[in-house]
Structure 1
Amino acid sequence: MSELPEYIEEIKTHLIENDFPEEIEAAVILGSGLGDFSTKIDEPFSIPYNQIPNFPHSSVKGHAGELFTGFVDGNKIIAFSGRFHHYEGYPLSKTVLPVHLAKAFNAKKLIVSNAAGAINTSFKVGDLMVIDDVFRVFQKVAPAPDQPFRYNLGPVADKVRSIAASIGLEVQRGTYLFAKGPSYESRAEIRAFRVMGADVVGMSTAPELIEASRLELPAAAISLVTNMAAGVLNQKLDHSEVKAAAESRKEDFAKLVNALIKEL
């Protein structure tokens, strides 16, 4: 695992010594308000982040800070209930730790989720959007690789939409814009982002997807639209919207993730 940071092997060893499997089918990163997916895991076992060596701690609302393992339809998985954001002070190399750990456990796929604000005015709160591209606002979002590489989310996004349709779920598709945060974007910024082609905006995910691509780990990403971005509606943005939107779609989200684990 020379392509991974040295501390990843220490983390993996610690987890295996504490009843985690040596290999998994899939890893799932659960975004704000989406941690309820952990209740859908069969034979669940979890360890708090603060009991894992070299693991950052999650300090954001809606992020429980636990690493789960168990089964989904007979497939061994790990699920990160809570992530670590660059705006919390963590270097980008730490924010992509879940991707590195998924690779270390020989995951065949990575499923990333997030709560996002809609820039696209045709979207509505509660929509699930498959990410088919990321926008970085001209900033570095991942540790610099030793060799150039390309990332292309389109083919996976096509497959995700096909799987969603097969289980009766309608999903949007679009571009995720990464903003460092932690404050919401201004109305002027949102207008500019819309002109540039972004559909939703959030404070995570892009670094994880780009790092997964570098490591040749197949990755799918789903945004749950939990609010309309600044200026789209004439109302104040509130974090309580995230919880309400996640609650309204938690069953559909779990249904889609289950299908992706099995079929992607």
Structure 2
Amino acid sequence: MIKNKTTIQQVSYKCAASLALAATVCMSLNMAHAGETFQNSEARYPNTEQGYFTSHYELNNDPNTYLYTTSYTASYIHMTGSSQNVVSGRGWQTGHQWRKVNFSINNYNPDDNGQKSVFALYGWTKSNNTNYDGMAEYYIMDKYNGWYPEHQNDDGRDNGARWLGSKNVDNARYDYYVSTRTNKPHAYGAGGTTFKQYWAVRDYNNQRDSGEINVGQHFQMWKNPQEYKHEAYPYIGNWHYQIFGIELIGGGGSVNLNAWSTN
């Protein structure tokens, strides 16, 4: 989850300032509060479609914030500011490195055009079934406002996320980052632990409301970074869910999301 910090309005690239970009990618908001729990993959109105999956997280439960499945590939998400942080979307119960994900964002109506929002493909992996080794949270961010990665680390060792390199994928440039979360909620169980966050951030001037995401192309960059090779994506062995969704901080609104796969 993304950590709520000062908004940076200018996207930059291969320098310390460019690390601001990764915070924006933070569809996974990590605003840690005492007693915070990760509501693991439980939508208020869970879907019943065969082969698809919904996940809905709120920092503060609000009955007026919810995800509702409206058709085979579509969900309607309504959010209020009282929830503080929402991560909600649709996809697959088990992620896949080589999936091609099609998405569309329709009728997005934020309460405030300046509020922080991210639309991204989002999920979790870890190296085995028995512990939390190699856990990682990832975002492929295609549309965003006001979130950047420079303040994502909270372990006191790094000044924000590390820039791993850039690559042209899906007809645009993406910048890649890694950051660390310390003793934070996660999707694999109760309590907190330390894990990595990996970001792929689409060029600010080429954001999009629909298209195809070639997941494997992004993972190749995370696994073989141009810089900070010791920060390469950990071994992938245990896939959790993989969704396309919205992360919203400190605001409200509504949106219709579609997500489907071509393979």
Band the TM-score falls in, shorter-chain normalisation: 0.3 to 0.5
Higher helix proportion, which one? 1
TM-score by length of 2: 0.33
Higher strand proportion, which one? 2
Q: Which has the higher contact order (CA 8 A, sep 6+)?
A: 2
Instruction: Answer with 1 or 2: which has the greater Rg.
Output: 1
